[in-house]
Chain A
Amino acid sequence: MIKSYTFRYFFPAYLVSFIAIIFTTLPIIWIFFISIKSKKDSFTRPPKFSFEPIIDNYVKTINNEFFRETFFNSLLITAFGITLSIVIAIFAAYALKRYQIRFKKTFMQWLLLAYMLPEFLFVLPMYSIYQTMGLYDTHFGLALMYQVHALPFSIWMLRSFLEEIPKEIDDAALIDGCSPFQMIYKIYIPLILPGIVATAILNGIWMWNELAIAIGLTFMEAHPITLGVAQYRGYASKDWGGMTASSILALIPMIFFVIVAQKHIVKGLTLGSLKG
C-alpha cells in the first residue's frame, strides 16, 4: 500500500522534472556545442553532432581583458545591489506588516509604479545628476539605480511572505517584548528564509543581466558583463565562438550563486518544520 502510494506520489514529479529539464537545457546545450566547434563546423547543414571540440573560444574569452573586467564589475555591482535591496526591503516589509502606516496603499502602488517604469526612461534624467554627484560610472552608483527595480519587488515579495506567517507567532513575539530588530532577526528572517533567498536570487539575476541602465550610466570603469558578451558582435564579422563561449561563462557565477543560496532554503526548511 505504502509502496504504491510513494510511487504514485514521486513518479509523476520526477517525470515532469525530467521533461522540464530536457526542454530547459536543450537550447543551452546547443549553444555550448557552438562554443566548442571550430568555425567550419559551427553552422553546417545538416547540423553536426559529432565534431572535434576545441577550447580555443574559451581560452580566448578568458584571456580577453575587457571580458574579465566586466565579469568582476558585475560581481561587485550585483553583490552591492542584492545586499542593499534585501536589507532595506526587510525593514520596509516588516514596517508595512506590523505597523499602521497611513499611506500604506498609496505607498504599495507607488512601489509598483517605480518597478514598471521602463529602464531607458532613467538614462537621460539620471545622467547629469549622476555626473554631478560623482556616481557616474561607479559600481555603487549602478547598484543604487538598480534599487528602483529591486526594492519594490523585494518589498512586495517579502511582505507577501511575512503575511503567510500565522498570527499566533506574531502575537507570541509581541508578548515576548522583543525590540523590532530582535524580532526581525530572530523570528521573521528564519521563518521566511526561503522567500528571502528566492528574492535575492531573482534580484541577483535581474541585475546580472541588466543592460539598458548600464549602457546609460557607465562609461569605462563599471561596465557590466552584459556589455562584455555584447562585444563579440563585431562590425562586419560576428564571432559566434566568442559570443557563445562568453555567454556560457556568464552563466556560471549565477549557477554557483543559486546552488549556494538554495542550501540555505534547506536549512530554513528544517527550522520551519521544527517550529511546526
Chain B
Amino acid sequence: MKTIASIITICLMCTAFGNVSAMDWKAHSGKTITFLMSEHPVLKGIRKVLPQFERDTGIKVRVNALTEDVYFDKMEVALRAGKGVADVHFCPMDSTAFNQYLANLLEPLDGYIQNSKKTSSRYDLGDFPDGFLQSTRFPGGPGSKHYCIPVSFESYILFYNQKHIKKYLDGKVPETFDDLISAAKKVKNSSNGDVMGMVVRGKRTDTAIDTITGVVYNAWGSRDVNYPHNIWFDGNWNSPQMDHPAILKGLSQYAGLMSAGPDDVKAYDWDEAGTAFQQGLAAFFVDASLFGPWFEEADSPSNGNTGYAVLPPQVKGGRSYTAHWQWGLGMPANAKEKDAAWYFIQYMTNKINEPKIGTFHGGAARLSTWENPTYTDKLNPDYVEATLESMQTTRSSVVMKKGWSQYALEIVDTIHRIHDGMNSDKSGKKANDTFNKYHSQ
C-alpha cells in the first residue's frame, strides 16, 4: 500500500513539475531577434527589463527605435519587405493594424498562446480586460484570432494647472463640460492672453482622432458603441451619421476647447500643446493620460502643480465617458525568428514585468498591475485615481475600416469648419457627403 501510495505521489509530483517545466525559457538560447519600436515611454521600461530578459532566455535583442512618425513609415515598409527585417514590432491597435491584417502582414498569435510548450501556464491572458483584447482580435466576431498583445493604453482625460485654477477660478475645477469651456475662456480673457485657458491639438492631422473621439464619447454618453462601425456610422458603412445630435455636440465642444486656446491653435500638434501645458502657459489640457509621467518629471515646471480628472460630464453629477487607445506588441508575418519573438512578447507582457515597465508610461493594460504596488507606488496618486476612474467608462476608439485615416481627417476638418464659424449641422452633413464619396471609391 505504502509503495503504491508513494508511486502515485511521485507520479503526481512528476506531472505537477512536468507542467511547470513544459515551457522552457531557455529553449531559444543563442538566437538574436530585432525589435522595431518607436520612441515611447514603453521602450524606456522595456530597456530596463531587457538585460534580465537576455539573461533568462539567452536571446539577444537588437532594439531599433525611431521617433514616432518615422516609425510609422518604417513599420509599413518593413512589414512588406521580401526579407523580414523585424521579429517583433510595436503595434498600433487601431485601423492601422486592421489594414495590416487585411494585407496578411501580421502573424496570428493564438497558436503560440495556446501551446503549453511555448507559453507559461501563469501567463493568464484573461487578466487583460476584454475591451482591450477586442482591439487585438481580427476580423472581429467569432473565430477571430489575436494579432498582438496589449502593452499600454491611454485614455483621454483632463489635466489642469493647479496654480492657475486657484488664481483665475477660485480653485474650482469645472463640473460640467460646458462649464469647462467657459471657465477656460474666462482664464484666457482674465489673463489678457498671457495664460491660455485650454490647450488641445488643433493641427490638421488624422492622428488627432483618438483625442477627439474621447470628447465625442463624453457627449455620446451611455449609448452603445458598436464595432466595427463605431459611432460614426449607423451600423452600416453606407450610413454615416456625422450629423447625429450627440456627435455634433461632441464635435462642437471640441471646437469650443480650441476657441479657448491660443489664436494659432491650428498649428498645435500634441507636442506644442503638451509643451505649453508643461511650461505652465495653459490652465487646462485635454489629451492622453500618457502625458502624466512627462508632467511629473523632476525638472518639469509642471511637477507638483498638475491636477488630473476625468472629462467633466455633460450634466452636473452625471457620468463621464471617454475613449482609449492602445499599443501592443505584434509579430510581423515575415519575421525570421518567430518562436524567439514570441518569448520576448510574452516576457514583456507577463504579470511580473508589466508592472515594472508600466511605471514608465502609466498605462498598464493588465488589471492585476493596477493592484500591484510595484506599479502604483511609483505614480502620482491623483493620476492613478483619475486614470482608474476613466477606465471604468472608457471604450476603444478603434474603427475597423480599410482606409479609415481619410475619414478621420474629414472628422478633424468637420471640427475645424465649426471652429471657423460654420453651423455644426451643416458641417456634419458635409462630412456625411464626404464619407459617402470615400466609400464609393
A touching B, CB within 8 angstroms: yes
Residues of chain A in range 226-276 having any CB-CB distance to chain B below 8 Å: 227, 230-238, 240
The 6 closest A-B pairs by CB, nearest first: A237-B294, A235-B40, A236-B290, A43-B279, A233-B67, A230-B67
Q: What is the distance, in angstroms, from B190's C-beta to the closest C-beta of chain A?
A: 15
Closest to A231 in B: B67
Q: Mask for B70-98, Cβ within 8 A of A = 1, else 0?
A: 10011001100111010000000000000
Q: Does B301 contact A (CB under 8 A)?
A: yes
Kindly identify, within residues 1 to 58 of chain B, every residue whose CB is under 8 Å from any CB belonging to chain A: 34, 38-41
- Residues on A with beta carbons closer than 8 Å to the beta carbon of B271: 233, 238
Interface string of A175-188 (1 = CB under 8 A from B): 00000000000000
Contacts of A232 in B (CB 8 A): 67
* A215 partner, pick from B39, B65, B73, B82, beta carbons under 8 A: B73
Is the CB of B288 closer than 8 A to any CB of chain A?
Answer: yes
Residues of B within 8 A of A215 (CB): 70, 73-74
Query: With an 8 A cutoff between CB atoms, is B299 at the interface?
Result: yes
- Chain A, 13-57, contact with B by CB distance < 8 Å: what is the 0/1 string? 000000000000000000000000011101111000000000000
Please classify the interface of chain B as helix (H, G, I), strand (E, B), loop, or mixed, using the class held by over half of its residues.
mixed
Smallest CB separation, B154 vs chain A (Å): 8
A interface list, Cβ under 8 A from B: 38-40, 42-45, 66, 123-124, 127-128, 131-132, 215-216, 219-220, 227, 230-238, 240
Provide 16 A-B residue pairs closer than 8 Å at the C-beta atoms, listed in order of the A residue: A44-B279, A45-B194, A131-B82, A219-B85, A220-B34, A220-B64, A231-B66, A231-B67, A233-B271, A234-B67, A235-B41, A236-B40, A236-B288, A236-B293, A236-B361, A238-B275
**B residues 277-303 touching A (CB-CB < 8 Å):** 279, 281, 288, 290-291, 293-294, 297, 299-301
Check: B274 CB closer than 8 A to any chain A CB. Answer: yes
Q: What chain A residues lie within 8 Å of B275 (beta carbons)?
A: 43, 238, 240
Interface residues of B (CB under 8 A from A): 34, 38-41, 62, 64-70, 73-74, 77-78, 81-83, 85, 154, 194, 270-271, 274-276, 279, 281, 288, 290-291, 293-294, 297, 299-301, 361
B77–A127 CB distance below 8 A: yes
| Contact present for B81 and A230 (CB under 8 Å) | no
Nearest CB of chain B from residue A233's CB, rounded to whole Å: 4
Query: Closest residue of chain A to B82, judged by CB?
Result: A128
Check A236/B294 contact, CB under 8 A, given A39-B300, A42-B279, A123-B77: yes
Q: Would B194 and A235 count as touching, CB distance under 8 A?
A: no
Known contacts A127-B77, A237-B297: A231-B290 contact under CB 8 Å? no
Distance (Å) between the CB of B191 and the closest chain A CB?
10
User: From residue B300, how far is it (CB to closest CB) to chain A in Å?
Assistant: 6
Q: Which of B39, B74, B83, B291 contacts A231 (CB 8 A)?
A: B39
Of B70, B82, B290, which is within 8 A of A235 by CB? B290
Complex interface: chain B residues within 8 A of A39 (CB):
297, 299-301
Whether the Cβ atoms of A127 and B81 lie closer than 8 Å is yes
Complex CA gap A40/B297 in Å reads 11
| A240 / chain B contacts, CB cutoff of 8 Å | 275
Chain B contacts for A42, CB-based, 8 A: 279
